[in-house]
Amino acid sequence: MTNEHSKSNVEVTVAGQDKAYWDRHARRYDRATKFLNRRVFEMAQAVADSVGDADDVLEIAAGTGLVTEVVAPRVQRFVATDTSHQMLEQLRHRMSGAANVEVRPVDALSLDFADHSFDAVIIANLLHLLDDPARALREARRVLRPGGKLVVPTFSHGHGVVANVVSRVLGLSGFPVVTRFRDQQLDTLVSESDFDVVDGRWFPGLLPIRFVAARAPLIQQP
């Protein structure tokens, strides 16, 4: 099945989040991620720089904690979430010594938090796995305080010939890719979700990562 995002012209393919897939691959996730993009640690540092010293930070789809372990030491309170049981086990093990980190199961499309609960929201390498990435951004927007920070580095499966080939091969192996972002389509999607984009850059790799940082408006719309 192939659809087009109504505004951003993003290529969309097979649908669905696959928690069973991530449970099966949790122990191999770090190695695979670093293979697909060797600059993932540099990307995590950029996330930390963008978040700064925020008091309350939410990470959606934290996975095994590759980003969590870099960002959490800089902030007061860090809530790291995922839907995969095995990912959460890896995450708890990695962050077991961090007193400021809470690990819990949460669905990115239905966040179990009150409006305006966080100073920053991180969504790293998730949006390309969602049928409706805009819905996840709306939920992030809801839980952010006015002027809060959003950071969404995302694998861009459609950005260039190599990325397209790698993505198709991954898809044949069962990787649940849904949205193949290319160019600055991620930036556009974030802007359309009522955020002000403040940073957009690339971390090249077999699968390039488009790094986008944004802010929620200071004045909330009624």
Q: Is residue 188 part of a domain?
A: yes
Q: Is residue 221 part of a domain?
A: no
Q: Is residue 7 part of a domain?
A: yes
Q: Is residue 222 part of a domain?
A: no
Q: Is residue 52 part of a domain?
A: yes
Residues in the chain where the model's pLDDT stays below 50 = 1-17
Q: Is residue 192 part of a domain?
A: yes
Structural domains counted in the chain: 1
Per-residue pLDDT, 14? 34
Q: What CATH number does the domain containing 108 carry?
A: 3.40.50.150
The pTM of the whole model exceeds 0.85: yes
Summarised one tens digit per residue, pLDDT across range 166-209 is 999 998 888 888 899 999 999 999 999 999 999 999 999 999 99
Summarised one tens digit per residue, pLDDT across range 63-79 is 999 999 999 999 999 99
Per-residue pLDDT, 5? 40
Q: Which of 105, 110, 127 is CA-nearest to residue 195? A: 127
3-state DSSP of the chain: CCEECCCCCCEECCCCCCHHHHHHHHHHHHHHHHHHCCCHHHHHHHHHHHHCCCCEEEEECCCCCCCHHHHHHHCCEEEEEECCHHHHHHHHHHCCCCCCEEEEECECCECCCCCCCEEEEEECCCHHHCCCHHHHHHHHHHHEEEEEEEECCEECCCCCHHHHHHHHHHHHCCCCCCEECCCCHHHHHHHHCCCEEEEEEEECCCCCEEEEEEECCCCCCC
Q: Is residue 137 part of a domain?
A: yes
Q: Which domain holds residue 73?
A: 3-215
Per-residue pLDDT, 221? 58
Q: Which of 53, 6, 8 is CA-nearest to residue 183? A: 8
Q: Is residue 77 part of a domain?
A: yes
